[in-house]
């Protein structure tokens, strides 16, 4: 089997697992966001993003390209939140949440229930600024309430 066919097979299998667990891809967006309250993940160390109504804390996470990242997403809010970024749609990502671990090629979003957490492990490759959004819509649209942040890869 060619490397391309193998990667495509893993991508399809990964998306099947992601869909089965309730995660759906979110289309990319190029919204601008001021960089504030940045958290820098040191090489080999973890970064944490806390979700509340209706914000990401920190609003910007800065990562180094080429360094394995352990990104923990914690929901301290009272409703379900999502962590979605087009940056992860073409990377190999390991996701652990609710006692389940999934390895996939490409991840659109992770839903995190109140009090829940998810750990995403990936190695950033492309440098740049990428939007993070919450596409949840209950009790109102989180995105319309301004729930967005930035992922900066340097």
Note the pLDDT tens digit of each residue in 67-108.
999 999 999 999 999 999 999 999 999 999 888 899 999 998
Structural domain including 76 reads 3-153
In the structure encoding, which two tokens stand for residue 87, read together? Answer: 């940056």
Query: How many domains does one find in the chain?
Result: 1
Note the pLDDT tens digit of each residue in 15-56.
333 333 443 333 333 333 333 344 554 447 689 999 999 999
In the structure encoding, which two tokens stand for residue 115, read together? Answer: 């009090």
- Say which CATH number the domain at 106 has: 2.60.40.420
The pTM of the full predicted model, rounded to 2 decimals, is 0.71
In the structure encoding, which two tokens stand for residue 8, read together? Answer: 């495509």
How far apart, in whole angstroms, are the C-alpha atoms of residue 27 and residue 6?
24
H/E element, 3: helix 3-20
């Amino acid at each position: 089997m060619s490397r391309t066919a193998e990667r495509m097979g893993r991508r399809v299998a990964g998306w099947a697992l992601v869909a089965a667990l309730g995660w759906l891809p979110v289309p990319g967006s190029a919204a601008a966001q001021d960089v504030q309250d940045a958290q820098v993940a040191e090489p080999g160390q973890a970064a944490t993003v806390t979700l509340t109504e209706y914000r990401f804390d920190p609003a910007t996470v800065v990562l180094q390209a080429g360094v394995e990242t352990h990104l923990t997403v914690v929901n301290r809010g009272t409703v379900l939140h999502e962590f979605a970024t087009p940056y992860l749609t073409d990377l190999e990502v390991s996701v652990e949440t609710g006692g389940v671990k999934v390895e996939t090629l490409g991840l659109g979003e992770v839903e995190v229930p109140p009090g829940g957490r998810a750990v995403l492990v990936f190695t950033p490759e492309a440098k740049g600024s990428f939007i993070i959004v919450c596409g949840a819509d209950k009790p109102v649209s989180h995105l319309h309430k301004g729930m967005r942040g930035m992922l900066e890869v340097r």
